[in-house]
Each structure stands twice: as C-alpha cells, then as structure tokens.
Amino acid sequence: MTPLLEQFLSEARDFLEGIGEKLMQLEDAPGDAELMTALFRMVHTLKGNSGLFDFPEMTRVLHAGEDLMDAVRHEQVEYSQDLADRLLDAMDFVGMLCDEVEAKGSIGAHHAADSARLAESLRRLIASVDAAAAVVAVVASALPNALTETGIVVAEADLPPLVDIPESIRMDAYRQACGGVDLHWLDYTPAADCFFQGDDPFFQARGTPGFLWGSITVRQPWPALAELDAYRCVLEFHLLTTAPREQLDEYYRYVPDQVRMIPVTPLFLALPQGNRNGGPVAYENFVDKALGLLGANQLEDLVLAASNLIELSSLELWLSSALRWLLLVMELEPENRNAFAKIIESLRRQSPPKWTELLPKVTGGNPPAKTELHLSQHSLTPEEAEVMTKMLDVQREILNLPIQENWQLGRIKAVAATLTGCLMASGDVAARAGLEAATAMALEEAASLPLLAWLDQFQQTRSTASVESLVNQADVGVPVPRNLSEIQSDLSADAVRVSDVDAEAKFGRRAEDAGIGPKSLKVDQQKIDRLMNLIGEMVVSKNALPYLAGRAEDVFGVRDLSREIKAQYTVINRIAEEMQDAIMQVRMMPVSFVFQRFPRLVRDTSRKLGKEVNLVLVGEDTEADKNVIEALGDPLVHIVRNSLDHGFEQPDERRAVGKPVAGTLTIRASQESDRVVIEIQDDGKGIDPDIVKRKAYQKGIIDEATLERISDQDAINLIFAAGLSTVDVISDLSGRGVGMDVVRTAVEKVNGAISLESEIGKGTRIRLSLPLSMAVTHVMLIESAGQTFGIPMDSVLETVRVPCASISSIKQSLVTVLRGNIVPLKSINALLAIAAPPQANSDHELAVLVVRCGNEAVGLLVDDFRETVDIILKPMTGVLADIPVYAGSALMGDGSVLMVLNIKELLP
Amino acid sequence: MKRILIVDDAATVRLYHRQILEAAGYKVYEAVNGIEALEKSLQQPFDLYVVDINMPKLDGYGFLRELRSQDIYQAPAIMVSTEAQTSDHQQAFAAGANAYLVKPVKPEQLLIQVKLMIGEARG
C-alpha cells in the first residue's frame, strides 16, 4: 500500500466517524448551521480525496451525499430523520469500501450497483420535496428493477427495439448466440454535463466490449440552433453486444447509473422486416402447406418449400425476410418446433412473431451456470484440500472483520454460501445440517460468532481427518484453531490513537502550528509494542546493577564504588519505572472508543423493535489499555442488544404498569482500583428467576434437586449457562440467549468478571469488571523441582503450609481441609510431568498455593514460595505457541527466563 | 529551489500534491487553512501557492483576497477545487487566482501549470 493510500484510508475513517457523530448531533439540533457546514465540509473533502484514486463506486456515493448536504445547507431540502438514515447508510457503504480497499487494494466492480442505488436514493432526496415518499419508492422499486436488469423477466413493453438493427447483423448475432455467447441490449444515457467530467460518451460506446451494432438517438427534439447548448449531451446510445455481463459491468463501472442492460433472448432477434406488399401469390398456400409439413415432421420438405418460395420473392419483401429467418432458425435450432410454427404463423398475419408467448416462465440471456456437484463421497486431492483450507481461512477472516451493521447479514450469507459450496465439493453432506443451523443462528443474531464456532469445529474435525488420511502428506497445512485473544491482537494491529494532551508544553509547539486540528497523533501499534519491549528489556538490564554493586564490594572489595553504583541505580530505576508508566499511558484509550457506536445501535435497534429507549452514557473518559477496550466491544454490543430486545417492554406495556413510556438504558464506566467497571442498566421488566429455573430444568442444565434448592440469584446467573433461552419467540435481533455464555467467555478471556442483578418489574443490571491493563502481569514466583515458575496473581487465593499429616487421600486424590472446606490438592510436578515428588520443609510441611479455578479453590503442591514480581509477559511464539499450559515467558533481572503458567489450562 | 505552499484542509490531498511537486524538485510547505497560510506567508515568501477553495476558518477565496490586499510578496496562485462551474472559475479569478484546476488534478496537469506560473515553462 502506498503512503498516499494509507493516508487516505486513515483520514477517510476519521471523516466517516466524524460524519456519523455530526449526524447524530444534528438529530438533536437540526437547525445548527455551524454543525451543518462542518458536516458538509467533511463529506466534501472526503469526496475530493476519493477522487484521487480509482474508486468510482466510492466517489459516486460521496458526490451524491455532498450535493445533498449542500442542498440542506442552503435550506433547499429540509433535514429529516430519513435523510440522516440514507446518509448513514451511504457512509456505512463507504466504510465497507474502505475496508475492502485496505484488505485487497481495490474495490470490486460488483459494488457498482449498490453504489448507484445509494447515490440515486440520496439524489432523489434533493430532487423531490416530498422526500420521504420518494425514498420509500426508490427503495421499494430498487429490488424488482435489479431483478429485471440482471436479466430474467422481460415483458413485451420492455423489449428493446431490436427491429432497428439491420437483419444481417441480427442474423449474425443470432448465430453467435446459438454458439453460446450472451447477447445484451444496452441503453447508455450519458449525463448532460458529462463533457465537463472528462467523459467521451461516443468513445465509451464505441469501445464497448463485444460491440456488434450501435445507434445514436436524441433524447428530446433538437432545440432551435440559437438555443442549442453544444456543451450539453442530449444523446442516447443503443448497442447490441456479445460480451458477458461481468465484462460490461466492469467496462461501465464509472457510469452504472447511466446504463441499462437487457439480456436478449436469441430468438427475439428473429423479426422479419421489409415491404409487406407484393410477393408471389403462392405464399398463402405456403402457410397451410408449411404447417402441414411441420405437423407431419417433414422438415426437409419444409426447407425445400421455403427455399423455393424465397427464390420467387424479391429480397426486400417482408415475406422473404421471414422465410430467411425460418431457414436460419431451422438450421440452428432444429429441435425448436414451436419457433418454426411461430414464424410460419407470422407469415399469415404479416406481423412479427410473438416470441414472448414462447418464453418459458424463467429464461434469460445467460442460462444460470448450475454447479451441481453430486460427487458424494468424493475425497479431495491434497491440492484441493489445500485450496479448501485457504478458502476456509478466508471465510474466517471475513467473519472476524469488525461488525458493520448494514453489511453484516450479507457477509454472513456470503460466507454461508461459500461454506456450503465447500461441503458439496468435499461430499461432506453430513456436516450441512450443522452449518445450516449455525447460519440460521448467525443471521438471527446478526453476529459471526455461531458461524465462527462451527468453522472451528469443522476445521478441527477436518484437520484430524486429513491427518489420518494423508499421513505422508507432510506439506498439508493443519489449521491451528486460533483463540479469541489471538484474533483480537491481530485486529488490534491497527493504528492506536495516542492522546497527546500535554504536547504543547512538552514539545514547545511553534506558534504557527497552534490551533491546527486535534492534538493527537496516530501511531502504528507495532511501534508502541516495540517501545514496550524495549522498556521491558531496560528494566531487566538495570536490575543487573545491584548485582554488580554486590560484586564490587564482595569480590573486588571496593565499597565506595559499590555505594556509587547503588546510588546511580536508584536514579535509573526511578526513570525506568516512570518510562514504563508513561508507555502504559500511551496505550490507554478512553472507553468512549467503544461507547461511540451505541447511540446509533440503540437508535436503530429500538426503532426496529418499535420501542422507545433513551441511552445515557456515563464516564466515557474512563481509560483502560487498548487491548482491554477492544475486548470489551463485542460483549457490550451483545448485552445492549439483549437488553433492548428482551429487557425493555413495548411502550403500551410500560404505560400500563405506570412506567415512563421511554425506557432508559444507562451504560456507566468507572475505575475501581486497578479495574475498569462497566455497568449496563435498564429499567425494563427484569428477569424472572422462576422462568429461568424452569427453562434450565427443561433443557437439562440443572437437575430436579437443584431446581428445588437453587436461590433466585443463582437462578438468574443460569442466564450465563450455554444454550439457555428464556424467550419463547426468538427475535431476529439478539437471538436465543446463547449470547450470554459467549459474552461471559469473551470477558473471562481477558481476565474479566461478569455479574448480573435483576429485579422483576424494575430492570436488570449487568456489571463487567476488567483489568486496567494487560501489559504488566503481577505474578508469584514458586519453585518446584529446582525450577522457578510464575503464576499470575489474579488466580492466586492464598499461600499456606500444610503439615504432611493433615493431608489425606480420597479416591486416590489428595485433599486437605482448610478452615472447614475440603480443598483438592494437585502436585505441580505431576501436572507438568516432572518425576520428582513434592519436597516438604524441615517442619514436615508442604507448601500449598491455593488458586482459583473457575469457582473452585484448588491447592497446588509446590516446593517453595518466593516473592511476587511485575513482569512483562510475552506470549509464546513459534512451535511453543501450541503449548497451552504456559501463558508466556518473561525476562528476569538476572537475565534468566521465567515460564509463566496458565492455571486454567494446567488444571484438568 | 522554488518554494511552493500547499493550502488544503485534506491531508490526503496535501500529501498527493506534495509527492508530485517534490518529485519535480520543488520545496513544498503546507498549510491547513487560509489563516495558517497567511501566517506562513508573512514569515517567508513563497514562489507559488496551490490553494483549495473549501476550507474551515478561512477559505481559498478569502485567503487570496486577504493575501492580495497585503503589501507582501505577490506570488502567483493556482486554485484547485472540485467545482467545475464557470461561476467558480470567475469567483476564483476575481479573488486573485492565476489559474484554476479541477480536482482530481493529474500530475502532469499540475506540473505544467506550476511551470507556467513560476516561469520555467520555456527553459
């Protein structure tokens, strides 16, 4: 990617964000002229920028948006919610194009139709005072139109004037069509001001691929010469081409709104023309004779009779033209009896054959290429398997793209179609049911997670299968299932916004630069990560100084030098710690980064549901590490959707119970010691523990005994259990409650916790608590079998020394009793497959590190405890990345490497 | 080396023009609006301005009018805008522009105008 394109994408995203924000603000203050001007300028600049590149699809939409905003700004068009909706849609589209440009470097030609439609819908708003009605009409008509144009149904009135084409060319086209090429009739109506945009319509039309014939007409009668404006294009071009649709789309991608393409059924070209008067008298007899021959299946005689009649007639007669067509059709489509009959009939009436009557219900210029792969039990070759792995990976990438409200469903459908194709190709029919279920779920939730989950599972089974069948195919890549945090860190490779509040003071900005733009700079995340790594190494190497001081004193006996080294060490230590802190600060982002999508989400969703909901955001400037903030996004969206869908009652229901008609959804962020706390609170109907209990019992999540004694709070927490739905009718928004266990998992992946309180009739409150930063990990050092390991402090509950005597065994498992609770004991050596037994100290006590595993406490038998330290945890890379029991490694002060254990994976 | 000031609020456009002009051996400076452009002009003379029309704070017309009214070095200015209407041309020339190009500007188009304006066309 060139620097210019990078700059464009980065600036474009800023603008899109700004445009969305300004539009939302305008909803509250529609009369704000300043806001309007700012909005106009953003759209204008963005359009100008896009013009520098070859992105006609993007520029077209932005141009329409700019014109619309210009009209609004000059009060020619009134600002309305509909208008905002259209503009937001258009900006979402542009955002999607930006994503595509970033991913592929260009925009696919297939977006041209969407682009034209969006631009058209924006322009209608300008053109029509009765804006709302017009927009509805455009959208309503867009779909059927698209159908006709992509070419299936052709009504008689819509038929292009094919008869304008000379017969010889039509016959040639007919021959080619029977040979398998697609025929298209093309109406190209260049914009009146096209000359000013550097277009050359004549050149464009002449250069049309597969050009067979063309004509030029004028749209309206020519005005008097004095009034003629030679700089306005009033011409229309009509063409017949043999190029396939995709090629035409590509060729006309800059002006799809000016082009109408109609697929031509070859037979429609068989239109006799010429002088209808005169000709041999014999022709009336010929019709009866010909029908008779046709009925008797004497086709050769029919050809002979027709040829004879042609020789008797002069060439320019209508009659002889019809006979020529009859012969040609008989030659090229010898099976098509109906067609012969039609032509013969037309001879009698001397009117063109009515081909539309012949048309089957569904037909078209390009017969749909049916890819019927009935290859059941077809095993894939290694090459095919590799291609399929690649395809699956691409689908995964698509599913992992950031959610774009309006395009999400389309994406899911596209991915589902591709996956179905893969299954058909590999003959894996059994897996289709699962895929269909996952697709349905994904579509209902408008989220990629169900499909991703299916894909994970499918790839796992596939990779095991392929390993079994292709033992010797070492080069077949076995897809490694990626966990959520890896995906997130991939995603977070985007630029990180660095807040630079104190820049003025620190960097002594020159006066001339003051007041320009926002005082922040965008830095590539990789650069920050590098800084983090460097400071980590510095912290480590500075720790060598005390060691050096010790040696100076003990080995070389220079106490003064030792003291000086120690003094210097304190200075370096302080600076290093401050630096570390400063870099952490750079990685901090305000939660508003995630919050900003909620006004739109709540607005759109509640409208769709017919509910009224006010959104209150509190504490948007609370900061947390970028990774944490990013991990928050999807769970929050899920929770908010759930709340809108299931939490809030319909307005009349609310009125009936005496609540304000409009519900209130509060999202509150705050910092509590070293954690960020996000609360999502609604004043809806709350969760009924009895319903949850009953459902959980029906689904077999709890047994009868639990059903009897479970507390209300515990019952509500069952919401987080997998596969529980409390809603009988599954809505198309948040789905079936599967969401909540996905939310819990996602939150726990980043060491977060989630809790829920609910009161019937009053509302529900969900509380997420996440660590402020994931960059520094506080670990406790333990020793076992002569090695040192680190264990993250957030899973450590306590350290105790237990006398060997108070350890007993139940069913071959060691346990001890701590303050009246039975705690299972596991030897860390055994878990790590180290042969040595746990070492007791001189008092015959064993060191037990009590850790939290899920909701249970488990004691780890270790040899000894050591201090706790702050480390910068580096995840395992390369071949080591597949060993899940290690969370990562860290460099220690003495230069040694510390392995940090992952408790969740370690304990079975 | 001839010095050119690009006045445009869009960073992408500034970078685009900068790349073209620097490749042709000019020294390029940037300003994001009319006010900043005026301030920079007062500090040092430029040989040419490449000015956008629609900008916040002070637009291209305003900048040129202000520049032409001041008793400072009067360098030629090329107006660059997305507007192709004749009225925009007229307004630009009235404000003091010496040439008018419609965005997106092709590199050779820009360079020809720049050379003409700076007086290097014949050499």
A155 or A57, greater pLDDT: A57
Confidence of residue A149 (pLDDT cuts 50, 70, 90): very low
Does an H or E element contain A217, and which?
strand A211-218
The pLDDT tens digits for A831-841 are 888 888 888 88
Q: Is the pLDDT of residue A810 over 90?
A: no
- Enumerate residues 6+ apart whose C-beta is below 8 A from A438: A450, A451, A453, A454
Does an H or E element contain A185, and which?
strand A184-188
Cα distance from A41 to chain B (closest Cα, Å)? 7
Confidence of residue A679 (pLDDT cuts 50, 70, 90): very high
Residue A420 CA to residue A609 CA, distance in Å, equals 32
Q: Is the dihedral of CA A230, A233, A235, A237 positive or negative?
A: positive
Confidence of residue B106 (pLDDT cuts 50, 70, 90): confident
Q: By the CB < 8 Å criterion, does A34 face chain B?
A: no
Residue of A45, A51, A516 with shortest CB distance to B104: A51
The pLDDT score that the predictor gives to residue B57 is 86
Cα distance from A4 to chain B (closest Cα, Å)? 6
Nearest to A488 by CA among A630, A626, A593, A594: A630
A318 or A818, greater pLDDT: A818
List the single residue in A with minimal CA-CA distance to B16.
A4
Q: By the CB < 8 Å criterion, does B39 face chain A?
A: yes
Tokens of A219: 């749209």
- For residue A7, which residues of chain B lie inside 8 Å, CB to CB? 11-12, 15
Strand duo A821-827 + A845-853: pairing: unpaired
Residue with tokens 């700019």: A66
Confidence of residue A736 (pLDDT cuts 50, 70, 90): very low
Exposed, middle or buried: residue A239 (CB in 10 Å: 0-12, 13-18, 19+)?
A: buried
Q: Is the pLDDT of residue A504 over 50?
A: no
The pLDDT tens digits for A373-404 are 343 344 566 677 777 777 787 787 777 776 66
Nearest to A93 by CA among A54, A137, A57: A57
Q: Is the pLDDT of residue A488 over 80?
A: no
Q: By the CB < 8 Å criterion, does B15 face chain A?
A: yes
Exposed, middle or buried: residue A221 (CB in 10 Å: 0-12, 13-18, 19+)?
A: exposed
Question: Residue by residue, what is the 3-state secondary structure of A5-70?
Answer: HHHHHHHHHHHHHHHHHHHHHHHHCCCCHHHHHHHHHHHHHHHHHHCCCCCHHHHHHHHHHHHHHH
Mean pLDDT of chain A: 77
The pLDDT tens digits for A211-235 are 888 888 888 788 788 888 888 888 8
Phi, psi of A470 (to 5 degrees): -125, 55
| Angular region, A175: left φ>0, alpha ψ -120 to 50, beta rest | alpha
Task: Provide the 10 A C-beta neighbour count for residue A3.
Answer: 9
The CATH architecture that domain B3-118 belongs to is: 3-Layer(aba) Sandwich (3.40)
The pLDDT tens digits for A543-580 are 778 888 888 888 888 888 888 888 898 899 889 888 88
Phi, psi of A186 (to 5 degrees): -130, 125
Nearest to B74 by CA among B94, B100, B49: B49
Residue of B15, B43, B55 with shortest CB distance to A3: B15
| A781 touches A789 (CB < 8 A) | yes
* Strands, sheet with B27-31, edge to edge from the N-terminal-most edge strand: B27-31, B3-7, B48-52, B77-81, B99-102
- Enumerate residues 6+ apart whose C-beta is below 8 A from A277: none
For chain B, give every domain's residue range. 3-118
List the single residue in B with minimal CA-CA distance to A511.
B39
The pLDDT score that the predictor gives to residue A752 is 79
Residue with tokens 């820009």: B110
- For residue B84, which residues of chain A lie inside 8 Å, CB to CB? 196-197
CB contact under 8 A, B56 and A41: yes
DSSP letter string, A864-880: EEEEEEEEE-B---GGG
CB contact under 8 A, A7 and B12: yes
CB contact under 8 A, B16 and A52: yes
The pLDDT score that the predictor gives to residue B51 is 92
Percent of chain A, pLDDT > 90? 3
- DSSP-derived 3-state class of residue A310: helix
Strand duo A520-524 + A495-499: pairing: antiparallel
Residue A605 CA to residue A642 CA, distance in Å, equals 10
List the single residue in B with minimal CA-CA distance to A516.
B32
pTM of the model: 0.42
List the single residue in B with minimal CA-CA distance to A195.
B84
Residue A771 CA to residue A175 CA, distance in Å, equals 72
Residue A264 CA to residue A805 CA, distance in Å, equals 93
Q: Which amino acid is at A390?
A: K
Quick one: average pLDDT of A133-157? 40
DSSP letter string, A474-505: TTSPPPPPPPHHHHHHHHTTSEEEEE-TTHHH
Cα distance from B67 to chain A (closest Cα, Å)? 17
- DSSP class of residue A105 equals S
List the single residue in A with minimal CA-CA distance to B8.
A45
Q: Is the pLDDT of residue A670 over 50?
A: yes
Residue B46 CA to residue B44 CA, distance in Å, equals 7
* Inter-CA distances, A356 with A180, A265, A270, A704, Å: 21, 10, 12, 68
Quick one: average pLDDT of A429-455? 75
- DSSP-derived 3-state class of residue A293: helix
Q: By the CB < 8 Å criterion, does B43 face chain A?
A: yes
Residue A775 CA to residue A324 CA, distance in Å, equals 83
